[in-house]
Amino acid sequence: MMGFAEMTMRLAEMGIFQFFIPFALFFMILYGVLLKYKPFGDWKDNTAVSIIYGLLSFLVALFIMLYGLNVYLENFLAWVLGRLGIILILILAIIVISAFTKGGSDLG
Amino acid sequence: MNISTGVSQFQEIGVFNYLLPFSIFFVILFGVLDKYKIVSKDKKVNAVLSMLISAFILLYARITNIEIFFMEFYMKMAIAMLILLFAMTLAVFAFRALKENEMVPSGKENVWSSVMVMVSVMIMNVAFGEAPGKLGVWANDVSGIVLAFGFIGAVISFFTSGKSKGGGE
C-alpha cells in the first residue's frame, strides 16, 4: 500500500512540483490580476477579451516550465512557501492570544 | 515519460523560442488594438495586423535566443508577484482580524494599517533571507526593495493620518 511519503516522492519524480505546480501557481496569480485590473477592457460581456486574458496568462506561465528545466525550482519554492506557512500560523496564534486576552479584559 | 521530457522536447522543436514569444506578442498587440480601436473597429483587421507585426518576432528569435530572456524575466516577475501577494495576505489577515475584534482604536486605522504593512514586509524579508540558490539571492533583493517601499508607504500613511486627526480636533 502506497503511503503519503511514497506518493509525494512519485509526484516529485513525475515533475509535478518542479513544473506543474509553479506553472499553475503563476497562471492563477496572473489570471486573477489581469481579471481584476482589466488592462484590455472589461471581460464580463466580452468573450474575446476573457479569452485574451486566459490565453496570455497560459502562454506566459509556460515559460516557468522552461525555467524549471534549468533551475532546481521545487527546492526554492518548498523552502520559501514552507516558511511562509509557518509565519502565517504564528500570526494566527498571536491574533488568537490577543483576542483571548481582550475578551478576558472585557469580562473584568 | 515525465513532465521534464515533454518540456525538453517542446524546447527542441522551438516552442519556447518561436511559438510562445510570437503568441504572447500577438495576443498583447491584438488586445491593445481591439481595446483602443487605433486602426479599425473590425476584429479581423486587428487580428491580421497583429499577426503580420508579430511575424517579425519569429525572425528576431532566429537571430537572438529570446527564450532565455522570457524565461528569466517571467520567473523573476512570478517571484516578485509571490512576494507581494504574501506581504498583502499577511497585512490584510492581521489587520482585519484585529479590526474585527475591535482591537484597533477608532480613528487610528491608517496608523495601524501602516504598521501592519511594515511588519508584514519585514517578515517577508526575513522569510526570503536565506532562500537557497541564485533564485534565493534575487528573491532576497526583491523583498528588500518591497521592504523599502513598505517603509516609505508606512511613513506617508502615518503622517497623513496624523494631519487629518489634528485638523479634525
Q: How many CA atoms lie within 13 A of A6 on its CB side?
A: 3
Encode pLDDT of A27-39 as tens digits: 999 999 999 998 9
- At residue B100 the predicted structure's pLDDT band, cuts being 50, 70 and 90, is confident
Say yes or no for a CB contact (<8 Å) between B11 and A66.
yes
Length of chain B: 169
User: Closest partner residue to B136 among A13, A41, A76, by Cβ?
Assistant: A76
Encode pLDDT of B34-86 as tens digits: 999 888 889 899 999 999 999 999 999 988 889 999 998 898 889 888 888 88
* CA B100, chain centre distance (Å): 29
- The ranges assigned to domains in chain B are 3-64, 68-168
DSSP secondary structure letters along B38-98:
SS-S-HHHHHHHHHHHHHHHHHHHHHS-HHHHHHHHHHHHHHHHHHHHHHHHHHHHHHHHH
Taking the model in full, what pTM does it have?
Answer: 0.81
CB distance B3 to A65 below 8 Å: yes
The residue of chain A with its CA nearest to that of B70 is A63
Model confidence at A13: pLDDT above 50: yes
CB distance B113 to B91 below 8 Å: yes
